[in-house]
Homo-oligomer: A and B are copies of this chain.
Amino acid sequence: MEFSAAQIAQIIGGSVEGNAATTVSSFGKIEEAVAGQLAFLANPKYEEYLYNTKASVIIINDTQVLKEPIQATLIKVADAYSAFAALLEQYQKMQSQQMVGIQEPVYIDPTAKKGTDIFIGAFAYIGQNAQIGNNTKIYPNAFIGNNVSIGNNTIIHPGVKIYHDCVIGNNVVIHAGTVIGGDGFGFAPQADGSFKKVPQTGNVIIEDNVEIGSNATIDRATIGSTIIKSGAKLDNLLQIAHNVEVGNNSVIAAQTGVSGSTKIGNNVMIGGQVGIVGHIQIADGTKINAQSGVSKSIKTPNSAVTGSPAFDYTAALRSQALSRNLPEMEKRIKALENEIKLLMQKLI
């Protein structure tokens, strides 16, 4: 999509200085923008870039005093940062609103129910008795299993796979390649050393306003539901095992794994590549540092932990620092041993 400086000025209520017909088609940071991009200047620290940026159009505060002539077209507004942020948001909305209707070919079971103003991309599969809410978009090559229910204003990106009987809420975003509702990893050891599959008959419930990154896996419950509660944000390549619960507005960074039946509270923040064992509780407001391994329940709300096995953040940092100094510590012990030996010889 291409916009002229005049069009942008109209959207954000700004005034143009320079060639109002100059067009831009994407956004750039003022320090690295190229021709055809729109940038902004709000932080005085970046003012130097204003005079040599390659951006074609720049949004600036109307209080900004110019020290040199500027090649780019300027749009002056009261608050450049807010105006730019508002534009970004509107752009994102427009991007997604472009897609409407049902492309061909798709596979939609006759028993599936479709809301209004939906988009279903080519090669998407909608199973028996599936329900797609209003304004919801199912991108190409997505798989929506039998009896899956998806709410309103939800975006299912390309190649997402949602197994049968799962429930997806309103305003949910699931990025490409993510798998919702695969079988939990449950196998009963047999006398001959082989394993017998434990049937995984539950489902996954994704509540409203959840966003899930790309190529993540959220397994269905053995019995009952694996639940991602309202407002939670999960990053790429995450592993959520069967019967796990993730609380409201909790945030989990990429490549973290949560083992079976663990309950994560509300407003928890978990870094990347964290591992959490099964059948434990993580209290509300807990902060878990990247690459930690959590092996026990965290019962005190708003704790911070790090390390593998994880413990109190501040204490762990002190231990980690000393751990680096082990060669030094070993030398001190050696010196003490020598001195003691000397003393012993003198005395005994």
Identify the A interface with B (CB < 8 A).
26-29, 32-33, 88-89, 91-92, 95, 103-105, 107, 121-123, 125, 139-141, 143, 145, 157-159, 161, 163-165, 173, 175-177, 179, 182-183, 185, 187, 193-195, 197-203, 209, 211, 213-217, 219, 223-224, 231, 233, 235-237, 239, 241, 248-249, 251, 253-255, 257, 259, 266-267, 272-273, 275, 277, 290-291, 293, 308-309, 311, 315-316, 318-320, 322-327, 329-330, 332-333, 336-337, 339-340, 343-344, 346-348
A–B pairs, 29, beta carbons within 8 Å = A28-B224, A92-B201, A103-B107, A104-B107, A107-B140, A125-B158, A143-B176, A158-B161, A159-B177, A176-B179, A177-B215, A182-B213, A187-B251, A193-B231, A193-B249, A194-B249, A215-B215, A215-B216, A217-B236, A217-B254, A239-B254, A241-B254, A257-B272, A272-B275, A322-B329, A333-B333, A333-B336, A343-B344, A346-B348
Cα(A219)–Cα(B237), bound, Å: 12
With A239-B237, A326-B322 already in contact, the answer to whether A95 and B193 are too (CB < 8 A) is no
Shortest A77–chain B CB gap in Å is 18
> A176 touching B202 by the CB < 8 A rule?
no
> A340 touching B337 by the CB < 8 A rule?
no
Residue of B nearest to A195 (CB): B233
- Identical chains bound together, number: 3
> A236 touching B182 by the CB < 8 A rule?
yes
Cα(A121)–Cα(B164), bound, Å: 14
Cα(A175)–Cα(B143), bound, Å: 13
Cα(A105)–Cα(B266), bound, Å: 44
> A185 touching B253 by the CB < 8 A rule?
yes
> A319 touching B308 by the CB < 8 A rule?
no
Given A141-B143, A255-B257, output 18 extra A-B contacts at Cβ < 8 Å.
Answer: A26-B202, A28-B224, A107-B140, A125-B140, A158-B161, A176-B182, A177-B177, A177-B217, A185-B236, A193-B266, A195-B233, A195-B249, A213-B217, A215-B217, A273-B293, A322-B329, A340-B343, A343-B344
> B185 touching A92 by the CB < 8 A rule?
no
